[in-house]
Amino acid sequence: MVKKILIFILAVSVVSADGIFESLGGQKVGTTSLVFLKIGIGTRATGLGGAFVGVADDPSTFFWNPGGVPNLGNSVYLNVISLPENVTMSFISISRELGLYGNVGLFIVGLDAGYMEETDEYHPFGTGRYFHYGDYLIGTNYSKKVTDRFSFGINLKGFMEEFYGLHSYGFGFDVGTFYLVGYRDIRIGVSLSNLGPDVKPAGDSLDYLSFSIPIVYRMGVSGLIFEKFRASLELDKPSDNVETLKIGGELMPIKSVSLYGGMKLNARPPSGGFLLPGLSFGLDAKFKKFKVGYSAVDMGVLGLVHRFSLEFRR
């Protein structure tokens, strides 16, 4: 019965996503706003190349697949991302079990680009005036295990972008499902992120155009190839870019340590990076109820993007 339900949900999700992306006109690079909504969260998730929707068992699943939150229990999580040009982004989440009533969670995201000097056609080296850029998000999650193998979840979130005295406000939601097959810990995950109305800047007398937020459809699977090695595969379809196929692998040489790596097989950054554009790697170590993690993603000419995480579970 559960397998029939899963097949039905997958079929409906694929048909719905096809309709959404057909109406959006396929590839529309650079036509959405609030693109910080697509920046990957989590050391392990990004270390696996972003192939995480079918893994969904640590707190970064709030971003990748809200249907995986019942796998967390009670947890607190912090992830700090060091982006190029001294831009930093932070993610904090809390999840709590409610027994038969399901699970709830709260998460906050903040991106800070600091103050930048204004330039124009007459002052290419700066006017002496500075402006600030930042993105902020707060979201809530409700999720529930329907059976011991199947769970679903939904995020509701509001966000704001600040730029040069202007502000863009918006809201959206994510939905996700998670299914445990029951053989070699094979897991299937499907999610649809950033469904919401268009947003536009406000703050002065001008009337600006509105743009959609970046919808992302994800479908993936993971499983144990060997007892201590997990492989994952994921297909992403964003509304403002081409499809991306991601692969990842995680080795657990001892119980408290994990080593992982991954790659985007297409839509990779331009060459000229540290190792190979699109390549990612990382590790985490567990100390009793705490886990610390690190990952790096090669962004080509932009260099490595570093992520650090601290997790507590009870």
pLDDT digits (tens, 9 = 90+) for 68-98: 999 999 999 999 999 998 899 999 999 999 9
> What CATH number should be reported for the domain holding residue 301?
2.40.160.60
Domain count, the chain: 1
Q: How confident is the model at residue 10 (pLDDT cuts 50, 70, 90)?
A: very low
DSSP state of 276: S
Tell me which amino acid residue 41 is.
Answer: I
Domain extent, residue 45, equals: 2-313
Quick one: CA dihedral 161, 294, 298, 266, positive or negative? negative
pLDDT score, position 266: 77
Per residue in 103-158, pLDDT (tens digit) is 999 999 999 998 889 998 999 999 999 989 999 999 999 999 999 999 999 999 99
The yes-or-no verdict on residue 6 having pLDDT over 70 is: no
- Taking residues 165-189, report their average pLDDT: 96
